[in-house]
Amino acid sequence: MAYTDVLGERRRLVISYTGKILMGSSLIYILPLLLLPFYPQESVYAVGFLIPAAVALLKGYIMSLQEGSKQEGITVKDGSVIIVVAWILTIIISALPFLISGGLNFTQAVFEAVSGWTTTGLSVVDVQKTPRIILFWRSIMQFFGGAGLAVVMLSAIIGPYGFGLFSAEGREDIIPNVVKSAKFMMIIYTGYFVVGSALYMEAGMSAFEAINHSASAISTGGFSTRVGSIGEYESLNIELITILLMLLGSINFGTHYMLMKGEARRFFRLGEIRLSAFLLAFFIPLVFFFSASKLYESFGKAARVSFFELISAFTTTGYSSVSYGGWDDFGILVLMLLMIIGGGTCSTAGGLKQYRVLLLIKTLHWNMARFFAPKNVIRHEYIERAEGPYEISSEHIINTACFTIMYIMLYLAGVAVLTINGYSLRDSMFEFASAMSTVGLSMGITSPNAPEIVLWTESAGMFLGRLEFFVVFYGIVNLVKLSYVRNPVK
């Protein structure tokens, strides 16, 4: 087959599968309408969800009519294009409810949709004035965004040839079958959500608030129905439930599967678990003694704030129990550091990811150890992961280092944009770390009055942080290649 024939087939495959994802996502836009029997007065906002559902269904159907490819599945190269295009289209369509029923302008609506799907939690809406159905829509976006479009569609409609989609969205095979892995992830994920909702209601939340907070907590999203977030409830039980859900959401799905198989003894041997336990055990007492104890007179209050805020930052959830107006530079620095490190790989959390940080630390240790080891000794370096010991190659280390350098460069670029717009370096570093690591904690920069360039910069940071740079750049490059392919002449 000619080169253009192959690219033409790939282009049709990409369009077709992107269309299938859009068709599947059309059902998600209908879910907020389930709220109307309980709040019938909000039926006036229904059109804001029926229109995007119709747009997604019609656009997806037209795209899915493209002739299928002769190849047996989706490569990672194809998957990167499909994921990037599907996410962009889904975000734009998901902004329509905010435009039609939420009273936001285009920039604000896209920002809110990006924040929702990327499970960030930064927001420009006033939750006191926003209709319940719009608040529910934000939580729905975070719930499905945490799982990922690829996971949701693979477990529902796309079929058995989606390894390229699965990999492109930063997921790993939990079971040696892509569809079974996706279904397992959705079962575990949904189960935690249901249990979390029940626990919240038992702790005193209304059903509406419990569902919203459980969806946002397990997805490490952080959208709240209250202005003061979790802190407004002033409930230790609610804080403990939130901490549990945040930690569960930030753990690799492979680890959940390992525990389900009864391999609990291996849990604390896993590299990511050991690193996260060490970091929390190290930084929580430091923040308690040097920051929180100076702000809060009560020992219990200072301890609660230290635990909750650092776990929220580390899991990239973004729920808060206090404001950060009085926090000193050390406390803010620790929050930023934990936000940037982030959660586990193949989890709902964002950030640089614990595995990459662990690998870089171990690489430093291994290189230093080589200086003292005999020259003829052959070393086999590995990191304990949920699927077993993973031997580390030089190429793997180089790829991780390149990703980290890219992450730092883009982070500094985003901070520069915010400082150019008049915000302090301290606030800019915190805010963009929160956006890029998909956290949602804020120093007050993100607001309805923020300049549009700031909101677009944060939106770009959230998008790149959620899908990870190489996938996005790789997808854009391949999309450009496919866009210039003419229909082959046979």
The model's pLDDT over 248-261, given as tens digits with 9 standing for 90+, comes to 999 988 888 888 88
Within 8 A by CB and 6+ apart from 71, the residues are 9, 10, 13
CB-based contact 24:153 (threshold 8 Å): yes
234-238, 454-458, 480-484, range with the lowest pLDDT: 480-484
Q: How many CB atoms within 10 Å of residue 223?
A: 31
Is residue 398's pLDDT more than 80?
A: yes
CB-based contact 379:368 (threshold 8 Å): no
Report residue 107 as tokens: 């920039």
User: Dihedral of the CA atoms 13, 15, 18, 22 (nearest 10)?
Assistant: -140
pLDDT at 368: 84
pLDDT band at 371 (very low <50, low <70, confident <90, very high): confident
Is residue 358's pLDDT more than 90?
A: yes
The model's pLDDT over 78-133, given as tens digits with 9 standing for 90+, comes to 778 888 888 999 999 999 999 999 899 999 999 999 999 999 999 999 999 999 99
- ∠ at Cα 259 (257, 261), nearest 5°? 70
CB-based contact 259:267 (threshold 8 Å): yes
Distances (CA, A) of 474 to 314, 355, 479, 481: 28, 22, 8, 11
CB-based contact 148:174 (threshold 8 Å): no
Give the predicted TM-score (pTM) of the model: 0.91
By percentage, how much of the chain surpasses pLDDT 90? 63
Delimit the domains of the chain by residue range. 267-483
Angle, helices 452-467 vs 106-117, to 10°: value is 20
pLDDT at 178: 62
Average pLDDT for the chain = 87
pLDDT at 88: 94
In this structure, is the dihedral angle defined by the CA atoms of residues 246, 249, 252 and 258, taken in order, positive or negative? Answer: positive
Distances (CA, A) of 342 to 83, 329, 397: 22, 20, 19
pLDDT band at 177 (very low <50, low <70, confident <90, very high): low
Radius of gyration of the chain (CA): 23
pLDDT at 166: 46
Is residue 158's pLDDT more than 70?
A: no
Within 8 A by CB and 6+ apart from 420, the residues are none
Q: Which residue has the tokens 């190429």?
A: 395
The model's pLDDT over 185-200, given as tens digits with 9 standing for 90+, comes to 888 899 999 999 999 9
Rounded distance, CA 119 to CA 91, Å?
12
Is residue 226's pLDDT more than 90?
A: yes
Between 280 and 84, residue with greater pLDDT: 280
Q: Which residue has the tokens 């996938």?
A: 471
- Top mean pLDDT of 57-71, 141-155, 350-364 is at 350-364
Report residue 324 as tokens: 């950060």
- CA atoms within 13 Å, Cβ hemisphere of 188: 27
Between 4 and 29, residue with greater pLDDT: 29
